[in-house]
Chains A and B, each alone.
Chain A
Amino acid sequence: METLSRDFIARAEEALAQPERAANREALGVFMPELRRAAVEELGGRESFEAHREHLRQVREHSLANLAHYLGEFVDRARDNGALVHFAANADELNDRVIAICREEKARLIAKGKSMITEETALNAALEDEGFEVCETDLGEYIIQRAGETPSHIVGPALHKPVEEIRELFLREHDLGERELSSAADMVAEAREVLREKFLAADVGIIGSNALIAESGYSMLVTNEGNGDLCANLPSTLIICTSIDRVLPRSADAMAMLRLLVRSTTGQPVTCYTSFYGAPRREGDIDGPLRLHFVLLDNGRSDILDSDYREMLQCVRCGACLNHCPVYVSAGGHAYGWVYPGPMGSILTPLLTSLDEASPLPDACTACGRCEEVCPAAIPIPDLLRDLRVEKFEARITPARWRLGLRLHGWLCRHPRLYRLFTGLAVGLMHRVGRRAGTLRRWPLAAGWLEARDLPVPAQARTFLQSYRGPAS
C-alpha cells in the first residue's frame, strides 16, 4: 500500500475539519476505555491485569527470541496436518503466491476475511489486476471496499463512516429496489443477505490469523461476525495470510493471549467466535476446504527482530493503543497515511516503510503514556517512539531549525551562568511587553506555539534564580 504518512499534519487537519466523520471516533475514545476498564475489573482488577500481561509479555518475548525454533515447529506441524506452507519475503511475493494459488484453483470469486497483512501488501488490488473478483466480508471492510476507502482503525475499519453514508452507499451499491434502511440493524441484515451469496459462491477464502500455534500447527482466528469462519469453511480452498511474528509456542499461550486480546479490543471476555484451523478436510469430513495454504510474510519483520525495536513485534493488534490515544482520536486513522494508525502504527509504519516516508509519525505523540499503560503486551510505546525520534534527529530527517533549536537549548542549559543571563533578558523583555495583557500573540521563535494559543507572559520581570536570596549550595 502507498505511504502517505509524510502528510500526517495536513491529513489530520483535514480530519479535524470533518466533525461528522469524527463522531464515531470521539465516542470510541470515551466508551472503549470504559469498556476496557470494566473488562479489567472483571478479570480481577488492575493487579490481575498486570500479572496477566507480564505473563503474556514474557511469552511473546520468549517466542520472538526463539522465533526460528517455533516458526520451524509450526511449519513442520502444519505440513504434518496436511497444510501447504509458503514463505513470502515481501509484499509482492505474498501477492504473487496468492495469485498463483487462485489461478491453479481456476478461481473466479474470492471471499476475504479481515487481514491487516493483506492490507499491507495491497493484495486486493493485485488480485483484481489479475481479473479475480475479491469480496471483503467483514462488515467494516466490506463497507470501505465498496466505498473505495481504506481502514481507519485496525479493528473497526469503517469507524469513520457515519450511518447515513453507509445507508447511501448500500442504496447505491445493492440493487434491491425501494427500501428504507433506517437502522444499523436493517443495514446489517441487508449486508448479511448480499454477503451470504458471496460465501456460497466463493472459490477461495482468504483470512488472517491472530496467532499461529507451534505445537499444534493451528491458526487462531478471533471474530465476532463469524465471517472469517465462513471464508475458512465454505470455499474449496483456504489461504491463511499472516506474518512470521505471529507464532506462539503452545495452545495455552494462545489462550493467555486471547484473555487479554479481546478485553483490550472490545471489552468482551471473549469474542463470539474463536476458532482454530489447522488442516484441510479430512477423510470422512463433510465440509471444509480441500486445500489449506499458509502464506507467511516477512516484509521487514526480521529486520525489526534484529533491531532495538524488537519489542514492537510483541504487539497483538488489539487496537487498545488507538482507542486510548488522544492524538489518534483527534486526528483519525487516515491521517497516519498507511495501514496501521495510532501509536502502534507510528512505530510500525517507519519500521516497515521508512523513517523518511513516515517522518512525522514518531512526533504524533505527547508521551502521555496511556498506550503503554493499557498495552496487553506491555510494549514501551513512548520509549520506542522516542528512539525513532533520536534516529530522525541523527539522520537529519528532523527539520534543521528544530535540530538547531534543540542543540542551542541544550548547550545553554549546560552553561548555567549564560542560561541565567539569557533567560533573565528574555523574561524581562517578555514581561515588559506583555504584562498588561497577560499573554502575547506574537513573539519571535514561538510561531508553533502561537498558532493555536496565546503565550502567557512571565509573571515577574526577573527569573526566580535571579531574585532568590535563600541558601544555595
Chain B
Amino acid sequence: MANANGPGGEPEQDSERNVMARLRGIAAASAHADAREALDRIPPVNDSMRAAAQPPEISERFLARAQKNGFSTERVHNRSEVVRAVSAYVSGRQSQRRFVAGHDARLAALPWRNEGLLPRFGCASADDLISVSYARCGLAETGSVCLWVDRDNPASNNLLCDAQLIIVDRGDLLERLDEIWDEGVWHGSGKSGPGRGKTPPRGVMMISGPSSTADIAMQLVYGAHGPRAVHLLLLDPEGVSGLGAE
C-alpha cells in the first residue's frame, strides 16, 4: 500500500486529522494533563488471586485448569521422557513417525532419533497432522500456554494440524495473566526461553484448549478450525521426588 500513509491531502489523511482533532477537542474537558500518571492511580484489584502461591502447588493448579480447558496433560521429568511421550502420542494418532515443529532451539535439541521420530522443522502446511511446539510460559490462573509468534514459532503450527503437542517448562509457569507481559518473560531474560533482544514478536498466542465452537445449537464441539486435540507436556525435572510427582 504505497498510498496508505502517503502524502497529505488524501481523503484518508483528512479523516485521521479530523478524527484526532475532534477527539482532542472533546478530551480537552476530561483528559488528564498526565494520563499515565492518572492511570497509575487507579487501584489494582485486591482479590484472593493476588495472594501468591496458595496450595496446591502451581504445577498442580496449572494442570487441573488445563484439563478443564479440554487439554490432555502429562507430566514428564527429563528430555528423554519428553521424546517418549511425543512418540507415544504420535503412534496413537497416525502410522507415520512424522510431525512438524518450529525452529525453536529447545525443540531442535531434543533426542528425537532415540524414538525413531522424524521431525520436520519449519512451518506447518495443510498436510501436517501433528505439530510439536514449545511454550514460552504457562499460566496457572487459566490453564493456558503462551507462544510467541516469531521465526521459531510459526502461528501456522498452532492452527493447521489435527493435533498439537505443547511442551512447557515447570520453571516457566506463571501465576497470573498479566505476568506474561513482565519484563523477564517478555524479553526472555531469566527464563528458559530463547530471548531475542528487545524486538517484540509480531504476535503472541495464548492457547487454552483445542479449537472449539458452540455455534450450532449451543452444543460444544471440538476441532472447529484448529487442532481437535492438544496435549500438554509439563517438563518438571524436580517433580520426580516432589509431592506432585506421578
Binding site for B on A (CB under 8 A): 24, 27-28, 31, 43-44, 48, 51-52, 55, 58-59, 62, 65-72, 75, 79, 81, 84-89, 93, 97, 100-101, 104, 137-140, 143, 156-159, 161-163, 166, 184-185, 187-189, 191-192, 195-196, 199-200, 216, 218, 224-227, 229-230, 232-234, 244, 249-252, 255-256, 258-259, 266, 268-282, 284-288, 291, 293, 296, 298, 302, 305-306
Contact = CB atoms under 8 A, between A and B. Distances in A.
A200 B126 contact: yes
A258 B158 CA distance: 21
Given A86-B16, A140-B215, A302 B226 contact: no
A224 B213 contact: yes
Contacts, number: 283
Q: Which of B203, B210, B219 has the most chain A CB within a 10 Å cutoff?
A: B203
23 contacts: A52-B47, A55-B44, A66-B30, A66-B32, A68-B27, A69-B27, A70-B35, A81-B200, A86-B4, A93-B12, A137-B225, A143-B215, A192-B224, A195-B225, A225-B211, A256-B178, A269-B143, A272-B208, A275-B149, A279-B200, A282-B202, A286-B123, A302-B22
Nearest to A196: B126
Given A48-B48, A188-B223, A188-B224, A27 B35 contact: no
A262 to B, nearest CB: 9
B155 interface: yes
A244 B23 contact: yes
B39 interface: yes
Given A225-B224, A229-B159, A276 B32 contact: no
Interface in B18-59: 18-20, 22-24, 26-27, 30-32, 35-36, 38-39, 42-49
B211 A66 contact: no
Interface in B127-141: 141
A249 B39 contact: yes
A84 B1 contact: yes
A44 B199 CA distance: 37
Given A65-B27, A68-B27, A184-B221, A163 B202 contact: no
Nearest to A79: B5
Given A44-B49, A87-B20, 16 more contacts: A48-B49, A87-B12, A101-B1, A156-B218, A158-B215, A185-B219, A188-B223, A229-B205, A233-B159, A258-B177, A266-B214, A270-B177, A274-B208, A280-B202, A285-B202, A286-B154
A215 to B, nearest CB: 9
B168 interface: no
Contacts of B213: 139-140, 188, 224-225
A196 B162 CA distance: 12
A256 B45 contact: yes
Contacts of B49: 43-44, 48
B15 A93 contact: yes
Contacts of A233: 149, 155-156, 159, 203
A188 B45 contact: no
A216 B70 CA distance: 31
B122 interface: yes
